[in-house]
Copies of this chain bind each other. A is one copy, B any other.
């Protein structure tokens, strides 16, 4: 009898262990069926930029990684080393060949990347674009600063700094869509709201510190009474600050500088007064919400690869304005990377 009891007990014990273990496993089996939004670690989402080393992307990548950690998926970061469309195209081709679960790309050129982006979408890979758009591409969503609004905000700040009068100039990167928009927002706002201000020059700084310094020096020579310069990207802002600093003594009142973004060198210049203000973008949001949108698209496409072919409204927003803030000596300390 005792032996039989022992056997029963063993059987019951094994059954209970089996049952609990089954429940435990069931919790992890199908990522779409579990309670909570949760993917597979084998699913790799790719963030792809140009100028892969620069500070600016760090906070975007942090957002992208935070999203991946929240959703239990993997990320890779790729990009071209240079500000070069052909190189970025090659990197994108290589990424497409690996069939990732999704791609979030910032396009170095608003037109030249379109075809390769469309190739990714047509091969069934969800693509969203962040920061710098390719408006004619088939990417499902754009997440970034409303650059027109940001340019308009910079113009209002420039008016604050210059008592809304005098000559102003812009140093920009004319072949990038986001810089075109910042320039347009700044230009339109000055023209429409500040009759005593005049935009006298728009020059190409090529996203490069030295080229922007050269362009600024030319503008300072042509317009010695310049009241302000708006640099639509941070390397340019640093170059402009160098040019203006070097011009000290040559002119009575130095022009005010408004730059863009919050890399350490720019923030240091804001702190020291070499740059009057800089525009902070919602870079973490770009990364985080790109990942969440790609996850959503991947889930739909995994269930039905033809889901978006039938004129159905997309399950992600067309445009996400990730926000803008003006950084001055007053609040600059909040913007250093922690």
Interface positions of A (Cβ within 8 A of B): 2, 5-6, 9-10, 13, 16-17, 20-21, 23-24, 27, 31, 34-39, 70-72, 143, 146, 280, 282, 284-285, 288-289, 292, 310-325, 331, 334
Most buried by B among A288, A311, A317: A317
Residues of B within 8 Å of A10, CB to CB, are 9
Inter-chain contacts of A24 with B (CB < 8 A): 20, 23-24, 27
* Interchain CA distance A318-B317 in the complex, whole Å: 13
Partner of A17, one of B5, B16, B322, B324: B16
Copies per complex of this chain: 2
Task: Identify the closest chain B residue to A331 (Cβ).
Answer: B311
Q: Which residue of B lies closest to A324 (CB)?
A: B318
By beta carbon, the residue of chain B nearest A319 is B321
Q: How far is the CB of A58 from chain B (nearest CB, A)?
A: 14
Give the docked Cα–Cα distance between A62 and B115 (Å).
Answer: 35
Residues in B with CB closer than 8 Å to A39 are 36
Determine if A288 and B315 form an interchain contact, defined as CB atoms under 8 angstroms apart: yes
Decide if B13 touches A315 in the complex (CB within 8 Å): no
Query: What would 20 more interface pairs be, CB under 8 Å, given A23-B24, A35-B38, A313-B325?
Result: A2-B2, A9-B10, A9-B13, A13-B13, A20-B24, A24-B27, A34-B36, A35-B72, A36-B36, A36-B70, A282-B313, A284-B315, A285-B314, A285-B315, A285-B317, A317-B320, A317-B321, A318-B321, A318-B322, A321-B321
**Are B314 and A323 interface neighbours, CB within 8 A?**
yes
A23 to B20, CA, bound (A): 10
Chain B residue with the shortest CB-CB distance to A66:
B315
* Interface contact A317-B322, CB-CB below 8 Å: yes
The complex places the Cα of A313 from the Cα of B9 at a distance, in Å, of 60
Assembled-state Cα–Cα distance A313/B37 (Å): 25
Residues of B within 8 A of A284 (CB): 313, 315
Quick one: which of A6, A10, A35, A146 has the most chain B CB within 10 A?
A35
* Interface residue from B2, B282, B313 paired with A314 (Cβ < 8 Å): B282
B residues within 8 A CB of A72?
35-36
Provide 29 A-B residue pairs closer than 8 Å at the C-beta atoms, listed in order of the A residue.
A2-B2, A5-B6, A6-B6, A6-B9, A9-B9, A9-B10, A13-B13, A13-B16, A16-B17, A23-B24, A24-B24, A34-B36, A35-B72, A36-B39, A36-B71, A38-B38, A282-B314, A282-B317, A282-B318, A284-B313, A285-B315, A289-B316, A311-B325, A311-B334, A317-B322, A318-B322, A319-B321, A320-B321, A321-B321
Q: Which residues of B contact A13 (CB under 8 A)?
A: 9, 13, 16-17
Residues of B near A285 (CB, < 8 A) are 313-317
Chain B residues closer than 8 Å to A316, beta-carbon distance: 285, 289
Known A35-B72, A38-B38, A71-B36; judge A323-B334 contact (CB<8 A): no
List B contacts of A322 (CB < 8 A). 317-318
CA distance A70 to B313 in the complex (A): 20
Question: Which B residue sits closest to A32, measured CB to CB?
Answer: B70
A38 to B39, CA, bound (A): 12
Closest B residue by C-beta to A286? B317
Q: Return the chain B residue nearest A2 by Cβ.
A: B2
Q: B288 near A312 (CB under 8 angstroms)?
A: no
Enumerate the 7 nearest inter-chain pairs by beta-carbon distance, A residue then B residue, closest first: A36-B38, A319-B321, A36-B36, A20-B20, A318-B323, A37-B37, A13-B13
